[in-house]
Amino acid sequence: MFSSKSSSAADMIKPRTYDVFLSFRGKDTRDGFVSYLYKDLCRKNIETFIDDEELRKGDEISGALLTAIQGSRVSVIVFSKDYASSKWCLAELVKIMDCNKWVVPVFYGVDPRDIRNQTGSFAEAFAKHEENFKHELEKVKTWRTALTAAGKLSGWDSQVTRPESRLIDEIVDDILKKLNRGTSNAYLKGLVGIHRRMEQVMSLIQVGFPDVRRLGIWGMGGTGKTTLAEAIFHHISNGFQSCYFLANVRESEEHGRLFQLRQEFLSTIMEDENLNISTPTIGAGFLKDRLSRKMVLIVCDDVSNSSQLEFLFKGINQLCPGSRVIVTTRNKQVLIQNDIDLIYEMEKLDEDESLQLFCQRAFKSNYPTGYRLELSKMVLSVADGNPLAIKVVGSSLYGKDKTYQESTVKKLKQGRTETM
């Protein structure tokens, strides 16, 4: 599925994508740890960019390296003693952190606290940078900010995971899990407009940053809130220690199943099938202790009132840094009342997206021709960018003859308010 090879400037003439970008200080680790790690990535058929020294010339990071970073799904940063002494390494780091993709830090022979706080050898390196770049101190400040953020990420410590062969095995397994959990093309097939919306949400939740973030996806019924939440869940879940998607919260309450949903949620997130919390208040201290040490991803879908969230999260008032909670709702007040300040409002499908979705459902093609074009325009003027409405009408017309389709759409347009 993947292939792995070293890259040179010639390889980068046309943009390409990689599974992994390796950032490291060459003189520290190229001939040792990094070479063994790279070899193992190759063995697992993971396409990896390992830079050539030829790409590091002048004062700025090369376009080839920028392209490789942007085109990689995961960046592995090998922090070593002299990493911060390289302005190219620091420039790479800034770009990596800006991309908001998966980052796997490896603390090779260094204390993560030295990276976070720029102490030890990192303090010495920055003293020199501040002297050499005394007229560009803003650049040095940017390097410091990126180092601090990267140092706070959960990563691999060579002084904790030993021997080195085991460390490499676990890093490669971690990368494989992240790559395998990325949303597959098969899952996204037919989801019109999903990529643009996923990018917008990803820019808000910024997976990999060490804070706890709660995001609300808000919009009217049928706009694709659940579909978007599911796509995000599949795309990022591999970066968390435990995940759970609480589906149909409103419906669960209506059918008296909210307690059962909470029980299933907690059993899964705690990875304990025998967990039995008989009332919402029992075990609050236990929940707080366990969840404050486990980075989790939780999605609550179709929440209609604040009491549902209060019940499901009773006793859970502290999550581990890096955790993410996503709530979908038709009621914006639910988000406001629960202090969820990151709110993504679902957009309607634009004209092109609406046309593509309708044609997929009604004609099994992406774009209409002949009488179908006029038919499509009539339907879309009524559906007004609502994905569910477009899918329902399109599916009802599939396989029917021209006379039936035209007659149905005319009736739809005449009774648009009542029908839709």
pLDDT in tens, 299-312: 999 999 999 999 99
For position 7, what pLDDT does the model report? 38
In angstroms, the CA 217 to CA 150 distance is 28
Architecture of domain 187-345: 3-Layer(aba) Sandwich (3.40)
Q: Do the domains at 9-178 and 187-345 have one common CATH topology?
A: yes
pLDDT band at 11 (very low <50, low <70, confident <90, very high): very low
The 10s digit of each residue's pLDDT in 349-359 is 888 888 888 88
CB 103 within 8 A of CB 153: yes
Pairing between β-strand 156-157 and β-strand 213-218 as defined by DSSP bridges: unpaired
- Catalytic-residue membership of 136: no
Which residues have CB under 8 Å from 225's CB, separation 6+?
Answer: 217, 218, 219, 301, 302, 328, 329, 330, 346
Pairing between β-strand 213-218 and β-strand 342-345 as defined by DSSP bridges: parallel
Q: 3-state class of 49 per DSSP?
A: strand
The 10s digit of each residue's pLDDT in 134-143 is 989 999 999 9
Q: Which of 126-135, 177-186, 203-212 has the highest mean pLDDT?
A: 126-135
pTM strictly above 0.75: no
Of residues 291, 293, 284, 239, the one with CA closest to residue 268: 291
For position 274, what pLDDT does the model report? 61
Pick the CATH number of 9-178 from 3.30.70.3290, 3.40.50.150, 3.40.50.10140, 3.40.920.10: 3.40.50.10140
Which residues have CB under 8 Å from 264's CB, separation 6+?
Answer: none
Does the structure show a pLDDT above 90 at 337?
Answer: yes
Q: Which of 47, 53, 54, 92 is catalytic?
A: 92
Question: Taking the domains of the chain in order of start, what are their residue ranges?
Answer: 9-178, 187-345, 351-419
Of residues 87, 88, 81, 86, the one with CA closest to residue 115: 81
Q: 3-state class of 152 per DSSP?
A: coil
